[in-house]
Amino acid sequence: MSATRRLRLLLVPAGLFVLAIYAWPTLLLLRNAFNEVGPTGALVAAWSLKTAADTFADGFTFELTWNSIWLSLVATAIALALAYPLSLFLFRTTSRWRGVLAVIAILPMLISGVVRVFGWLAILGDRGLVNGLLQWLGLISAPLKLVFNWTGVTIGLAESIMPYMILALLAGFGQLDRTLEEASRSLGASPFRTFLRVTLPLSLPAIVLAAGLGFVLSMSAYITPKLLGGGRVFVLATEIFEQATTNTNWPAAAVLALYTLVLLLVLLAFSNLLARRLRR
Amino acid sequence: MSYLELAGLQKRYGASVAVDDVSLAVEKGEAVALLGPSGCGKTTTLRMLAGLVEPDRGAIRVDGIAMTNLPAHKRNMGYVFQSYALFPHLSVAGNVAFGLEERRRPKAEIARQVEDALALVRLAGLDQRRPRELSGGQQQRVALARALVIHPSVLLLDESLSNLDAKLRDAMRHEIRSIQRSLGITTLFVTHDQVEALTMCDRIAVMHRGRIAQIGTAEDIYERPATRFVAEFVGRANALPATRGPDGKVLLWNEPQPVTAPASGEFDVFVRPQRMRIVPLSEAVGAETVRVSGRILRSVFVGDHVEVLVEGAGGQLTVEMPSGSPALAEGAEVAVIWRAQDSLPFPREAP
Amino acid sequence: MNGAGPVLSGIAALVYALILAPIVVVFTLAFSADNFILFPPSGYSLRWFQALAGNAPLLSALGLSVQVASVVTLCSLLVGVPAALALAKGEFRGKDALTGFFLAPLLLPTLITGLALLLFFTPLRLTATLPGLVLGHMTVTVPFVIRMMATALANLPHDIEAAAATLGATPWRVVRRVTLPLAAPGLIACACLSFLLSFDETVISLFIAGPRASTLPVEMVRYVEGRTDPLIAALSVVLIIATLIVVVAVERLVGVARAVGR
């Protein structure tokens, strides 16, 4: 029918946009991974695996990989430990402030990352809230090093991925029927046993998906490691940016970016598979 | 030639067939129900008629004019949706005026017609309300007024009463029927509720698996179901497994019966519970009476009648007796009898 | 009665404290009288707001960001809403694949999109230009608009457009008289969120913004990298308040959780 054909015309601008400004640059990125950088630092167009070989021969790449994965794991674990009870609270509460509470929970994702990083600098810095409080209490004499190192980056990262995980958890709680918990209680299970035997198993797929999302976001986060790491925290994301801008070594940046992407895809495939298994 | 004609309509969604082959002729002013369980294709048929779904095959004619390739907005059919589909951003008057505005009628005429339509459905004075401020029954009336005000060639009602509570549904049933009669408007009414179909329509088309299983008056459908499905779906029926005796006689519950068997194959005999009577074992019966014997399992009083569950050699059956009949003791051995002509043999379906 | 129970509510309160801590701290620090980050501040003043009003690089970056975000919002709606309409209303083969294609940019981290755009824009001399920044931000906002509006349009009351058609409205009149009026709150919310997304976009901007054209987040990153004084806190307060106004408006219109959720 002609109405359908006319409707399809509406897709053309968006289609052209995604092709030109998204698909084509992504292909360019792929192409650049096969280029080389000459001895003078000049870009040499080629179809070789030299850049990739150099990158993976460098022990630093594996240190970066390990750093990224470890950092993301810890940040995701912390964020999950905080986001899960909060999401469960939001899911269950009958408060008339529920809408407002939900907005506050995801507020950080609506506020500029730089602003939040700055807040953490003020909380965790040498003369910040935490150190001030601990010194006032007499618990420490010299300030603890909480920022410009892994500690600060982990905390900041955990906070920045939490809102996304809360949304994923809330979406996944759909199948969590309150009457199932009531049934468990009526059968004699304590609230804690009910949580262990009913609530937790039913929300496991949501947990897996939220954790997968949090991990992917952590792996690809740049601002937090850069600013809260103070140049002392090296992960894949910071290295990709350095290679692309400071070193203008595009082939190396492209290789690292594709490598990171592959890691993420493998992880996403794994967490989706696991979530689907659990849902059966 | 009939006023409204559907010829060989078919609609597939991928591998599944929603409507297989539907042909139907409706006279001017007639009300016909499309009755069937969910998924039988009745709503798809209605939507094809309105131009909301494009048929894969077949033709639709109204008053001799081919409608099949006309888009919905050129068909001039009044459609009352199951959800009512009232425009939440428009007032009651705005909703009813919508179709007239699309027809570019003069303002004064629109105002007068809207007023008349709202009066017809007894909603005068509510014209400035928003749909969400109305009760379910009132919303239903707005939807009806909105569909009627455009003077449609055909009125299409899709499960229009299913969202109302039982009492209101009864009232609306009669109201819609009397409006339909007084306007003499040709109406197609989709429903899964047989009472609705039986009370609101001149004829009923029972649909099953995308086809019309039987079409006829309420009495035809009920008394002379054409297929096993119709017998099961419309009204209640006992299905007694039949066997053939060595002499070719039909056996029900191991007793020979004066029932005509189909030429071949296994079959069941359908009998309406209210056509059965319970009598003492000793009572003599005529040659044209079917008689099986069993034991009373349970007798339940359900208001206007008593349901008696009887168990015998071939299984269980339910007899409906008028309330006030003499009480029957559970466990009593009795005979269940009915006229041979009330037996409806249908081939057994493969499980 | 609270449906969550005291234990869960208690834990939730603690988590809320953690979520709000950076924001509260930033607010306090903005009114600090100190020269550096000290918490709690030794004194309070408005000096950092005054310093902010006199900081030309940050102000011009703010101007550029507002400009970019406005153009991005307008263009994203113009490109995204028709596509959302087609995806929500059209019945055609390959629709799922097409939806996946349009939403794909949301899956790739902006770090990788930013790098790809740097490689693409540099030879075209689009880096550090307004069109470059706009196109770059649109890789995020166009899929966002398509996703949000396709959902909003698909969730319109069932059969309401079919009802308009049976009453004689042509497809175009249905869009004008029913679809768009009903989708208007969603559309406004979508525009607000697109603006915020573009305004806050940092990583893509860092890749393609040069010294000549830097957006506010980029300028803020550079500032924080160099110095740590409460100036950024004062700026943050301004931004947070502006954001909150937008968020409250969006919440009133459609509910934030539904708007940003997938």
Mean pLDDT value of segment B248-253: 85
Among C1, C107, C112, most A C-beta atoms within 10 A, so best to mutate, is C112
Residue B190 and residue B58 share a domain? yes
What domain range is B294 assigned to? 236-347
Summarised one tens digit per residue, pLDDT across range B167-203 is: 888 888 888 899 999 999 999 999 998 888 888 899 9
Tally of structural domains, chain B: 2
Q: Report the C-alpha gap between C104 and B88 in whole angstroms.
A: 34
A3, A17, A114 ranked by CB distance to C142: nearest: A17
Residue B285 and residue B216 share a domain? no
Taking CA–CA distances from A229, the nearest residue in chain C reads C225
Looking at the domain that runs over A60-279, which CATH code has it been given? 1.10.3720.10
Contact partners, residue B177, CB within 8 Å, separation at least 6: B31, B199, B200
Residue B226 and residue B142 share a domain? yes
Apex A114 CA angle, A113 and A115, nearest 5: 90
Q: Report the C-alpha gap between B173 and B165 in whole angstroms.
A: 12
Summarised one tens digit per residue, pLDDT across range C62-102 is: 999 999 999 999 999 999 999 999 998 877 788 889 888 99
Mean pLDDT value of segment C223-251: 87
Q: What is the band of A1 on the pLDDT scale with cuts at 50, 70, 90? A: very low
Give the single-character DSSP code of A139. S
pTM of the shown model? 0.81
Contact C89 A8 (CB under 8 A): no
Residue B46 and residue B183 share a domain? yes
Summarised one tens digit per residue, pLDDT across range A241-257 is: 999 988 889 999 999 99
Q: Which of B217, B232, B247 is the last residue of a domain?
A: B232
In a domain, C176, yes or no: yes
Give the pLDDT of residue B31.
94
Q: In chain A, which among 33-72 make CB contacts under 8 A with chain C?
A: none
Contact C167 B52 (CB under 8 A): no
CB count in 10 Å sphere of residue A107: 19
Q: Which of B216, B232, B248 is the last residue of a domain?
A: B232
CATH number, residue C140: 1.10.3720.10
What domain range is C197 assigned to? 59-260
In a domain, C33, yes or no: no
Please, what's the b/e burial string for B33-57 (b: 16 or more CB within 10 A of its CB; e: otherwise)? bbbbeeebbbbbbbbbbbbbbebee
Q: Could you identify the residue written with the tokens 């991928």?
A: B14
Name the amino acid, one letter, at C41: P
Contact partners, residue B74, CB within 8 Å, separation at least 6: B51, C168
Q: Which of B162, B197, B232 is the last residue of a domain?
A: B232
**3-state SS record for chain B:** CCCEEEEEEEEEECCEEEEEEEEEEECCCCEEEEECCCCCCHHHHHHHHHCCCCCCEEEEEECCEECCCCCHHHCCEEEECCCCCCCCCCCHHHHHHHHHHHCCCCHHHHHHHHHHHHHHCCCCCCCCCCHHHCCHHHHHHHHHHHHHCCCCCEEEEECCCCCCCHHHHHHHHHHHHHHHHHHCCCEEEEECCHHHHHHHCCEEEEEECCEEEEEECHHHHHHCCCCHHHHHHCCCCEEEEEEECCCCCEEECCEEECCCCCCCCCEEEEECHHHCEEEECCCCCCCCEEEEEEEEEEEEECCCEEEEEEEECCEEEEEEEECCCCCCCCCCEEEEEEEHHHCEEEECCCC
CATH number, residue B286: 2.40.50.100
A93, A99, A178 ranked by CB distance to C255: nearest: A99
C178–chain B nearest CA distance, Å:
7
Q: Which of A212-216, B259-263, B347-351 has the highest mean pLDDT?
A: A212-216
Catalogue the E-assigned strands of A35-143: 36-37, 43-44
Mean pLDDT value of segment C43-64: 92
Q: Report the C-alpha gap between B60 and B57 in whole angstroms.
A: 10
Domain extent listing, chain A: 60-279
Summarised one tens digit per residue, pLDDT across range A140-178 is: 888 889 889 999 999 999 999 999 999 999 988 876 777
Q: Which of A22, A38, A46, A55 is nearest to A262 (CA)?
A: A55
CATH number, residue B206: 3.40.50.300
Give the three-class secondary structure for C2: coil
Q: What is the band of B255 on the pLDDT scale with cuts at 50, 70, 90? A: confident
Supply φ then ψ for residue B267, to 5 degrees: -155, 165
Q: How far is CA A6 from CA B223, C93, C164, in A?
A: 52, 15, 19
In a domain, C199, yes or no: yes
A170–chain C nearest CA distance, Å:
10
In a domain, C234, yes or no: yes
Tally of structural domains, chain C: 1
